[in-house]
Structure 1
Amino acid sequence: MDDKKDEVYGDHISHKFNDELMELKAEFLTMGGMVESQVENAIQALVDGDGHLAEQIRLNDKKVDRLEVSLDEEATLIIARRQPTARDLRLVISVIKMVADLERIGDEAKKIAKVAMTLAEEGHAPRGYVEVRHIGVHVQTMLHDALDAFARLDSTQALRIMKEDKRVDEEYQAAARALLTFMMEDTRNISRCMSVMWVLRALERVGDHACNIAENVIFMVEGEDVRHTSVEEAERVVTG
């Protein structure tokens, strides 16, 4: 692993280039931390019926959008000025892709916040919050671990995140079936339960984007694109 790290973040004749790459990495992790908080707060706002916190999440989404634009511009300038070779080009291109995933995770948090505001106004907690908490913790852990894998260039940890994505999909499907059953038993709950269904779907998408980040970490470290491949094929790349 250490040799592969050196290949990605090798020393350059230009110390300025080193500084630019490290700054790009640091700003990406800053954006990642902000998005992590957005997801956590969105779930909390929903469960607690906290409309004020939900509104704050919607306002903070603009900060996430600005960071996306800033990071894209910085990465593009690095490519234009430095014309990086393969090892560094993988880093810069991966950051551009992962920034897009972080922005979309922020969008999913904003969707949850909108639902939280609506349900807070109705003043009644529908079924499904237990499932929201459970899947929410799961995808938050995936996101945190994906960012950690990026920080440490740990393709083994990134592979574990890819494996977790299937479990999240299964949990989402089970929760959706439970809510559908509840709605069929009492049609008065359809509207509120449908809102929770949208939240569960948003959380499932957060897991998908965390998985995308993990796939890009593997590309950075191993030099092979594992998107649209099976987990078994990705495992051969990481352990091979």
Structure 2
Amino acid sequence: MNRDCIVVTGASKGIGAAIALALVDQGRNVVCLSRSGSLPSFPRATGTAGGQWIARKADVTQPGALAETFRELAAKGWSITGLVNNAGLHIDAPSAELALEQWHQVMDMNATSVMVACQAVYPHLIGAGGGLIVNIGSFFDKLGVKRNLAYCASKAAVGAMTRCLAVEWGGKGIRVMNVAPGYIQTDLNADSITAGPLLAYLEKRIPRGKPGNAAEVGALVASLFSPACGFLTGETIYVDGGQGVAH
């Protein structure tokens, strides 16, 4: 049995679950990490060979948690060939009133955990002869958004880390990419994003005329693991229906 695997953080719900599903349906083995330790609730595709997925409980903000998880996987015979850093946190607050604790919460989850995860997976990717890290950023990384000081800063940091690691680790066979979604409908926000004033705003603001969906992000991330993308690294791909470039 193929023992190569891709680790996805924040994989029990939302975009992370969609990414895990897309990878499994592509035939990859996926380790789904989350605080709950639950598998995605999405149904697997029928009629396909697919890979397998397993769930592990892990808090990416806890020092040493990911390194220990990766060691446990290796001890059980798994070879980690990819990592998707998807776990994230959003806090909406006026910039003048943003508490330092809130700033640290967002930066720890969205930026620091990405750096720690990349460091932890590095020896495993080296041992596998190379691999791919996909960071999940946001199109907010290039925008000025009211009440989103910490979130915008954290996602900009993810883009910067992606570029630095791609340059530093490229010669070792490790690619690093950043996928930056815009407004995406998921199982976590479906009630708020599919009706009311937010939907009306997005239909006008997004050139494509509607929010994206999690399956589209999942399909894009899964495609990056194809050998056809072997020369692609260090870039940010925006999945926002053109909103980030609209004026």
If the length of structure 1 is used for normalisation, what is the TM-score? 0.31
State the structure with bigger RCO (CA 8 A, min sep 6), 1 or 2: 1
Higher strand share: 2
Q: Which has the larger radius of gyration?
A: 1
Higher helix share: 1
